[in-house]
Amino acid sequence: MTAYYKELQPGDPYRIRLPYPFSNYDRQLLTLLYQPMIGAEATAFYLTLWAEGEASGDEATHYTLMNTLGNPISKIFEARIQLEAIGLLKTYRKDDGNRCFIYELCPPLDPKTFFMDPLLSMFLFSKIGEPSYRRVRDRFLIHSEVPDDFKEVSRTFTDIFQPVHAKAGYPSAKQDLQERKQGAYEADAEFDFAMLRQGLSEQLVPKRVLTATIRDFISKLAYLYSWGPLEMQKVILLAIEDDYNLTVEGLKKSASEYYKLTVSTTAPQLVQVQKEEPKATEDVPKTKQDELLIYLETAPPIQVLRDIANGNEPLPADVQLANQLVVTHGMKPAVVNVLLHYVLLRTDMKLTKAYVEKIASHWLRKNVTTAKEAMELARVEHTQYMKWKSEGSPTTVAKPFTSNGNRKPVREEKLPEWFHKKNDAPAAKAEPRNESLEVEKQKLLAKLALKKGKGG
């Protein structure tokens, strides 16, 4: 699993950089060419950043994106890295104690560049199949060709304008102007061009034809077909023209023909690599307590409310209360998650606003910023919070007596699993626990296990 919770947190702020206005044509290219490759969630993330970037350049937190998209932070991270890999997004990060990001949107490639790219075109082909691929490619063909019996008579620049040498100074040489950058992706595929040149005669393949564009295209073809320098030498010899020139069109065609001849008539497919397993042992949750901590640190509060209610949608008033704590009062989403967790399980699933706000006020004054700090404070101040709960009750109900004059035992309140620190406390110091509490704790763990089944 990717340790996304170490790279991105709901409370991390971000800004959007939109270098210039995008057009409806860019939206068509995104929808028809890129969406089949990156999926609907990454496309929605891009469109959301696009809309926010056009409306305002103000700073916001990823919690806002989680609410807008209805996705946990893990899904947002996955969408982000897909956009980065495909060339639609550049991410800049600053780490100075308060991590923040700048997201720079890149426009989609124009159709000619897209379909000439060996990796992108093959990726799209493998996703949608040949009939759909031909249909979407034909959509972007130029259908209004100029008839042969027409001759261009347009004037050139020098026909109309001429220089006048006058003492008028020079224009400013500022470079911070809008520029239509190509949304090209970065391909780090290594290729041994030195070995490639050793097997190519200067007379057949002059060194001048291996321009930067051609070299980049050769690297992509070698990566796509899993070829080394020896195979690419044969492709180049097939593609070299009579005037000793190389073109990307000729290379692409020759590579396709050579692959069909030597490997298979079925085109290679491009698939997303499996997520890397974390190398460091601390990246792997060792206990259920660790898994719960990661869940509370990364899930949006609305998802926590939903999971505790067995998947049912929470009431608008509960969602509004959680959002108010995050947006208005500046509490971290992870801290709000622990607060909701603690209060709901202590009050028989009743989210009392006054009680929540009283504890929240205490945590804000204590400057609690992580789920772990919130859990520890809840353990330390548990007795005080019980007093606040009884003080906030509208009436005080006397404890019932049994027939022999003794007080009837009162059912012990349900408490969150993390409250007991089951995995942290040594066995010798563990307090005796009654059977009913153990049952309640196991039910809570089962509820939280549903989170994994929902892909969060």
> What is the tens place of the pLDDT at every residue in 412-451?
455 565 555 544 444 444 444 445 545 555 555 566 655 5
Residue 121 falls within a domain, yes or no? no
What Cα–Cα distance (Å) separates residue 228 from each residue in 231, 329, 346, 430?
Answer: 6, 58, 64, 62
**Is 381's pLDDT higher than 60?**
yes
Which residue spans within 150-244 are E strands per DSSP? Answer: none
Number of separate domains in the chain: 3
Q: Do 446 and 346 reside in the same domain of the chain?
A: yes
Residue 174 falls within a domain, yes or no? no
pLDDT of residue 87: 92
Q: How do 13-17 and 89-94 pair as beta strands? A: unpaired
Q: Do 89 and 191 reside in the same domain of the chain?
A: no
Q: Do 331 and 254 reside in the same domain of the chain?
A: no
Residue 226 falls within a domain, yes or no? yes
Q: Do 239 and 211 reside in the same domain of the chain?
A: yes
The partner residues of 104 in beta bridges, in order of sequence, read 17, 90
Q: How crowded is the C-beta side of 41, counted as CA atoms within 13 Å?
A: 16
**Is 404's pLDDT higher than 90?**
no
Q: Do 293 and 421 reside in the same domain of the chain?
A: yes
Q: Do 291 and 428 reside in the same domain of the chain?
A: yes
Domain that holds residue 254: 187-271
Q: Do 215 and 336 reside in the same domain of the chain?
A: no
pLDDT of residue 353: 84
Give the CA angle between residues 306, 309, 313 to the nearest 5°: 45
Within 381-426, where are the H helices?
382-391
Identify the weakest region by mean pLDDT among 34-38, 133-137, 265-269. Answer: 265-269
Q: How do 13-17 and 100-105 pair as beta strands? A: parallel
Q: Do 235 and 329 reside in the same domain of the chain?
A: no
Most confident of 103-107, 161-165, 301-305, 381-385: 103-107
CB 30 within 8 A of CB 310: no
Spatial distance between the Cα atoms of 176 and 350, rounded to a whole number of angstroms: 56
pLDDT of residue 451: 52
Residue 334 falls within a domain, yes or no? yes
Q: Do 260 and 337 reside in the same domain of the chain?
A: no
Indicate the Cα dihedral angle 248, 179, 80, 123, nearest 10°. Answer: -20
**Is 195's pLDDT higher than 50?**
yes
Q: Do 195 and 322 reside in the same domain of the chain?
A: no
Residue 159 falls within a domain, yes or no? no
Q: How crowded is the C-beta side of 207, counted as CA atoms within 13 Å?
A: 4
Q: Do 365 and 333 reside in the same domain of the chain?
A: yes
Spatial distance between the Cα atoms of 336 and 323, rounded to a whole number of angstroms: 9
User: CB neighbours of 127 closer than 8 A, spacing ≥ 6?
Assistant: 36, 37
Residue 83 falls within a domain, yes or no? yes
B/e letters for 122-131, b = 16+ CB within 10 Å, e = fewer, are bbbbbbbeee
